[in-house]
Chains A and B, each alone.
Chain A
Amino acid sequence: MRSSRWQTFNPVWNQLQQLQEEMNRLFDRWSNGRLFSGAAGFPALNVWEEGDAVHVEAELPGLDLKDVEIYVSGGNQLTIKGERKPHLPEKGVWHRQERTFGSFHRSLTLPFPVDADKVEARLENGVLHIQLTKHESARPRKIVVKAG
């Protein structure tokens, strides 16, 4: 932080600094000061494409696949629902409590339609992996050019 002398003697500087602090707070709230944490909800998702396949990954430690519901609707809408149940020891003193519990719901609009019948999901070591296949209409098509 700058010397407080500036703040008392220069009101313009003072205001600029206030503005900067406001902006910092705003960005902190949005991104927590980092590039990657701009998730629109819980869980955070990583999505990538590989040929005709689309992969979606989310970190859901402590969950079983039976605790998670996955839907594909409207051609390109993927929904992940579930609940993280708290583990409550009968008696005991909490020293730390950093994990979050409760139900979650996340929807994602994919950039192309997917085949609702070809969805595979697995949950391995707390990482949910969903593999979707692009709908036939979204796949690249080779156009045969005939010589005229």
Chain B
Amino acid sequence: MANITHLPTKDRAEARAEATRGGVFFTPRVDIVETDTELTLFAEVPGVAPEDIDLRYEKGELVLHGRVQPRTERARMLLQEYEEGDFYRAFTISESIDAGRISAECKNGLLTVHLPKVEAVRPRQISVRSA
């Protein structure tokens, strides 16, 4: 198993619309895997509770906004290596997705989104009978 030696720094994100609350937005790191039946997206949203995730799919676009609860005031910082802030990212989904069956779950700051493909675009195995 390889060691994680380099720090994957958090990238700042530009929110589409102006936010009412000040603060920084970050781009969540994602893995996206496509199988025969669905696209699965894994997004890292540390510090975001499942109920604070706003996930929308509209006109082929998946928009993710994770709100980080404001943390308590820290009187005396001794070391600050990262910033905290909301997560925002939008994806254009090109494959035909069955929007009604999109589901998502979030555990330990890792959001998993299942985007099932519509039946018509799934590859189909055609069984060939011997004549």
Residues of A within 8 A of B (CB): 32, 34, 36-50, 54-55, 59-64, 83-84, 87, 89, 91-105, 108, 111, 123, 125-127
Whether the Cβ atoms of A111 and B78 lie closer than 8 Å is yes
CB of B72 to closest CB in A, whole Å = 9
A-B Cβ contacts below 8 A, count: 146
Interface of B is mostly: loop
Q: How far is the CB of B115 from chain A (nearest CB, A)?
A: 11
Binds A, one of B7-15, B56-64, B123-131: B7-15
Residues of B contacting A91 in the complex (Cβ-Cβ under 8 angstroms): 35
Assembly CA distance A38 to B7 (angstroms): 9
Q: 8 smallest A-B Cβ distances: which pairs?
A: A126-B109, A126-B46, A61-B109, A59-B46, A44-B81, A62-B110, A39-B81, A95-B32
Which residues of B come within 8 Å of A, CB atoms?
1-10, 29-35, 39-40, 42, 44-49, 74-83, 107-110
> In the assembly, what is the distance between CA of A146 and CA of B15, in Å?
62
Given pairs A47-B80, A48-B75, A92-B33, 13 additional interface contacts (CB within 8 A): A36-B81, A36-B83, A37-B81, A41-B7, A54-B78, A61-B110, A99-B30, A99-B31, A101-B4, A102-B1, A103-B2, A108-B79, A127-B109
Q: Let me know if A44 and B82 touch, CB within 8 A.
A: yes
Are B44 and A62 in contact (CB-based, < 8 A)? yes
Between A and B, 15 residue pairs with Cβ closer than 8 Å are A39-B7, A41-B5, A42-B6, A46-B80, A46-B81, A50-B76, A60-B109, A62-B107, A87-B42, A89-B40, A99-B30, A100-B8, A102-B2, A125-B46, A125-B47
